[in-house]
A and B are shown apart, each in its own frame.
Chain A
Amino acid sequence: GDSVTQMEGPVTLSEEAFLTINCTYTATGYPSLFWYVQYPGEGLQLLLKATKADDKGSNKGFEATYRKETTSFHLEKGSVQVSDSAVYFCALRYGTYKYIFGTGTRLKVLA
Protein backbone atom coordinates (compact mmCIF):
# COMPACT_ATOMS: atom_id res chain seq x y z
CA GLY A 1 0.00 0.00 0.00
CA ASP A 2 0.88 3.65 -0.15
CA SER A 3 3.17 4.95 2.57
CA VAL A 4 5.43 7.79 3.63
CA THR A 5 8.78 7.31 5.36
CA GLN A 6 10.54 10.12 7.20
CA MET A 7 13.89 10.28 8.87
CA GLU A 8 13.71 9.65 12.55
CA GLY A 9 14.27 12.47 14.97
CA PRO A 10 14.93 14.32 16.97
CA VAL A 11 17.07 16.52 14.79
CA THR A 12 19.03 19.04 16.84
CA LEU A 13 20.67 21.99 15.12
CA SER A 14 22.25 25.26 16.07
CA GLU A 15 20.61 28.46 14.93
CA GLU A 16 21.50 29.39 11.33
CA ALA A 17 22.42 25.80 10.44
CA PHE A 18 21.21 24.13 7.23
CA LEU A 19 18.25 21.80 7.61
CA THR A 20 17.34 18.70 5.63
CA ILE A 21 14.55 16.35 6.66
CA ASN A 22 14.30 13.37 4.36
CA CYS A 23 10.99 12.06 3.12
CA THR A 24 10.38 9.23 0.67
CA TYR A 25 7.09 7.77 -0.43
CA THR A 26 5.58 4.68 -1.99
CA ALA A 27 2.57 5.27 -4.16
CA THR A 28 0.71 3.42 -6.87
CA GLY A 29 -0.39 6.59 -8.62
CA TYR A 30 0.59 10.23 -8.75
CA PRO A 31 -0.24 11.84 -5.44
CA SER A 32 0.23 15.39 -4.27
CA LEU A 33 2.90 15.82 -1.61
CA PHE A 34 2.83 18.01 1.49
CA TRP A 35 4.81 19.14 4.48
CA TYR A 36 2.91 20.04 7.64
CA VAL A 37 4.33 21.56 10.81
CA GLN A 38 3.01 21.11 14.35
CA TYR A 39 4.09 23.54 17.02
CA PRO A 40 3.66 22.53 20.67
CA GLY A 41 0.02 22.61 21.73
CA GLU A 42 -1.23 23.53 18.28
CA GLY A 43 -2.80 21.76 15.32
CA LEU A 44 -1.03 20.85 12.12
CA GLN A 45 -0.38 23.73 9.74
CA LEU A 46 0.29 23.38 6.06
CA LEU A 47 3.88 24.43 5.36
CA LEU A 48 4.16 23.75 1.63
CA LYS A 49 2.91 21.47 -1.10
CA ALA A 50 3.68 20.18 -4.58
CA THR A 51 1.07 18.65 -6.85
CA LYS A 52 3.15 17.11 -9.64
CA ALA A 53 6.63 15.87 -10.45
CA ASP A 54 9.39 18.51 -10.47
CA ASP A 55 7.18 21.04 -8.69
CA LYS A 56 8.93 22.94 -5.91
CA GLY A 57 6.93 24.02 -2.90
CA SER A 58 8.24 26.86 -0.79
CA ASN A 59 7.15 28.88 2.22
CA LYS A 60 8.85 30.79 5.06
CA GLY A 61 12.29 29.87 3.74
CA PHE A 62 11.48 26.15 3.55
CA GLU A 63 11.61 24.32 0.22
CA ALA A 64 10.88 20.83 -1.08
CA THR A 65 10.96 19.43 -4.62
CA TYR A 66 8.73 16.59 -5.83
CA ARG A 67 11.18 14.04 -7.25
CA LYS A 68 9.35 11.27 -9.02
CA GLU A 69 12.50 9.41 -10.05
CA THR A 70 13.67 9.04 -6.45
CA THR A 71 10.15 9.14 -4.92
CA SER A 72 11.32 11.82 -2.53
CA PHE A 73 10.15 15.15 -1.14
CA HIS A 74 12.96 16.29 1.17
CA LEU A 75 12.41 19.43 3.24
CA GLU A 76 15.24 22.00 3.32
CA LYS A 77 15.92 25.36 4.87
CA GLY A 78 19.11 27.31 4.52
CA SER A 79 19.22 28.89 7.96
CA VAL A 80 17.01 27.64 10.79
CA GLN A 81 15.79 29.72 13.71
CA VAL A 82 14.83 28.78 17.23
CA SER A 83 11.21 29.49 16.25
CA ASP A 84 11.38 26.64 13.70
CA SER A 85 11.47 24.10 16.54
CA ALA A 86 8.47 21.86 15.94
CA VAL A 87 7.42 18.49 14.57
CA TYR A 88 7.38 18.22 10.78
CA PHE A 89 5.15 15.76 8.93
CA CYS A 90 5.50 14.67 5.33
CA ALA A 91 2.29 13.49 3.70
CA LEU A 92 0.84 12.35 0.40
CA ARG A 93 -2.70 12.77 -0.79
CA TYR A 94 -4.84 11.42 -3.57
CA GLY A 95 -7.88 13.28 -4.69
CA THR A 96 -9.37 15.98 -2.58
CA TYR A 97 -9.04 14.86 0.98
CA LYS A 98 -7.40 11.63 2.14
CA TYR A 99 -3.89 12.06 3.52
CA ILE A 100 -1.28 9.47 4.40
CA PHE A 101 1.14 10.99 6.89
CA GLY A 102 4.65 10.02 7.88
CA THR A 103 5.55 9.52 11.52
CA GLY A 104 6.89 13.04 11.96
CA THR A 105 10.36 14.41 12.66
CA ARG A 106 11.00 16.56 15.69
CA LEU A 107 13.32 19.50 15.09
CA LYS A 108 15.01 21.29 17.95
CA VAL A 109 16.97 24.45 17.20
CA LEU A 110 19.37 25.74 19.84
CA ALA A 111 20.25 29.39 20.23
Chain B
Amino acid sequence: DTGVSQNPRHKITKRGQNVTFRCDPISEHNRLYWYRQTLGQGPEFLTYFQNEAQLEKSRLLSDRFSAERPKGSFSTLEIQRTEQGDSAMYLCASSLDTGALYNEQFFGPGTRLTVL
Protein backbone atom coordinates (compact mmCIF):
# COMPACT_ATOMS: atom_id res chain seq x y z
CA ASP B 1 0.00 0.00 0.00
CA THR B 2 1.47 3.35 -0.98
CA GLY B 3 -0.88 5.64 0.92
CA VAL B 4 -0.07 8.00 3.78
CA SER B 5 0.92 6.14 6.92
CA GLN B 6 1.05 7.39 10.49
CA ASN B 7 2.63 5.93 13.60
CA PRO B 8 1.68 5.18 16.22
CA ARG B 9 -2.04 4.78 15.62
CA HIS B 10 -2.80 5.24 19.30
CA LYS B 11 -0.86 6.92 22.09
CA ILE B 12 -1.81 7.21 25.72
CA THR B 13 0.35 9.43 27.87
CA LYS B 14 0.30 11.20 31.19
CA ARG B 15 -0.03 14.93 31.47
CA GLY B 16 3.32 16.64 31.28
CA GLN B 17 5.01 14.01 29.13
CA ASN B 18 6.37 14.63 25.64
CA VAL B 19 5.06 12.70 22.66
CA THR B 20 6.18 12.43 19.04
CA PHE B 21 4.18 11.24 16.05
CA ARG B 22 5.45 10.28 12.65
CA CYS B 23 3.90 10.68 9.21
CA ASP B 24 5.14 9.03 6.04
CA PRO B 25 3.57 10.68 3.00
CA ILE B 26 3.04 9.23 -0.43
CA SER B 27 6.57 8.99 -1.77
CA GLU B 28 6.55 11.56 -4.57
CA HIS B 29 4.43 14.12 -2.72
CA ASN B 30 6.21 17.37 -1.96
CA ARG B 31 3.58 18.88 0.33
CA LEU B 32 2.71 17.58 3.76
CA TYR B 33 0.02 18.81 6.16
CA TRP B 34 -0.89 18.28 9.80
CA TYR B 35 -4.44 18.61 11.14
CA ARG B 36 -6.01 18.13 14.54
CA GLN B 37 -9.47 16.63 14.97
CA THR B 38 -11.15 16.75 18.35
CA LEU B 39 -14.17 14.66 19.22
CA GLY B 40 -17.26 15.72 17.32
CA GLN B 41 -15.39 18.27 15.24
CA GLY B 42 -13.92 18.39 11.79
CA PRO B 43 -10.19 18.50 11.18
CA GLU B 44 -8.44 21.83 11.83
CA PHE B 45 -5.34 22.88 9.95
CA LEU B 46 -2.15 23.03 12.01
CA THR B 47 0.77 23.43 9.61
CA TYR B 48 2.16 22.52 6.23
CA PHE B 49 5.46 21.84 4.53
CA GLN B 50 6.63 22.32 0.99
CA ASN B 51 9.50 19.84 0.81
CA GLU B 52 11.46 20.49 4.02
CA ALA B 53 10.30 24.09 4.49
CA GLN B 54 7.53 24.78 6.97
CA LEU B 55 5.55 27.47 5.19
CA GLU B 56 2.61 28.10 7.47
CA LYS B 57 1.65 27.49 11.07
CA SER B 58 -1.83 27.92 12.50
CA ARG B 59 -2.44 29.88 15.67
CA LEU B 60 -3.62 26.54 17.07
CA LEU B 61 0.01 25.42 17.08
CA SER B 62 1.23 26.64 20.45
CA ASP B 63 4.89 26.86 21.47
CA ARG B 64 4.63 23.34 22.89
CA PHE B 65 4.10 21.96 19.39
CA SER B 66 6.86 21.54 16.87
CA ALA B 67 6.83 19.89 13.47
CA GLU B 68 9.73 18.95 11.25
CA ARG B 69 10.29 17.45 7.86
CA PRO B 70 14.07 17.21 7.80
CA LYS B 71 14.67 15.66 4.40
CA GLY B 72 11.46 16.54 2.71
CA SER B 73 10.13 13.03 3.17
CA PHE B 74 8.64 11.90 6.50
CA SER B 75 7.53 14.39 9.12
CA THR B 76 7.33 14.38 12.89
CA LEU B 77 5.00 16.28 15.17
CA GLU B 78 6.17 16.67 18.77
CA ILE B 79 4.07 17.89 21.65
CA GLN B 80 5.97 18.89 24.77
CA ARG B 81 4.48 18.95 28.27
CA THR B 82 1.20 17.48 27.09
CA GLU B 83 -2.08 18.75 28.51
CA GLN B 84 -5.45 17.05 28.65
CA GLY B 85 -6.70 19.50 26.02
CA ASP B 86 -4.21 18.03 23.58
CA SER B 87 -6.25 14.83 23.44
CA ALA B 88 -7.35 14.52 19.83
CA MET B 89 -6.80 12.71 16.56
CA TYR B 90 -3.78 14.08 14.70
CA LEU B 91 -4.11 13.69 10.96
CA CYS B 92 -1.44 13.93 8.33
CA ALA B 93 -2.06 14.50 4.63
CA SER B 94 0.14 14.86 1.59
CA SER B 95 -0.23 16.19 -1.93
CA LEU B 96 1.79 16.74 -5.07
CA ASP B 97 2.06 20.39 -5.96
CA THR B 98 1.83 20.50 -9.73
CA GLY B 99 1.27 24.24 -9.98
CA ALA B 100 -2.42 23.66 -10.63
CA LEU B 101 -5.02 25.46 -8.55
CA TYR B 102 -6.27 22.20 -7.10
CA ASN B 103 -4.12 19.33 -5.86
CA GLU B 104 -5.86 16.58 -3.95
CA GLN B 105 -4.74 15.94 -0.40
CA PHE B 106 -4.51 12.31 0.65
CA PHE B 107 -5.06 11.68 4.33
CA GLY B 108 -3.50 9.14 6.63
CA PRO B 109 -5.50 7.17 9.23
CA GLY B 110 -4.42 9.45 12.06
CA THR B 111 -2.81 9.09 15.47
CA ARG B 112 -5.23 9.19 18.37
CA LEU B 113 -3.67 10.84 21.44
CA THR B 114 -5.16 10.45 24.90
CA VAL B 115 -3.64 12.52 27.69
CA LEU B 116 -4.53 11.29 31.16
Interface set of A (CB-CB < 8 Å, partner B):
4, 32, 36, 41-46, 49, 51, 89, 91, 95-99, 101-104
Contact = CB atoms under 8 A, between A and B. Distances in A.
A43 B40 contact: no
Give the most central of A36, A95, A101: most B CB within 10 Å: A101
A99 B109 contact: no
Contacts of B43: 44, 89, 99, 101
B105 interface: yes
Label chain B's interface by main secondary structure: loop
B105 A97 contact: yes
Interface in B58-116: 91, 93, 95, 97, 101-110
A4 B105 CA distance: 19
A96 B102 contact: yes
A101 B42 contact: yes
Given A32-B102, A96-B101, A97-B33, A43 B42 contact: no
27 contacts: A32-B102, A41-B109, A43-B3, A43-B4, A43-B91, A43-B93, A43-B106, A43-B107, A43-B109, A44-B43, A44-B91, A44-B93, A45-B107, A51-B101, A89-B42, A91-B42, A96-B101, A96-B102, A97-B33, A97-B48, A97-B103, A98-B45, A98-B56, A99-B43, A99-B105, A101-B44, A104-B41
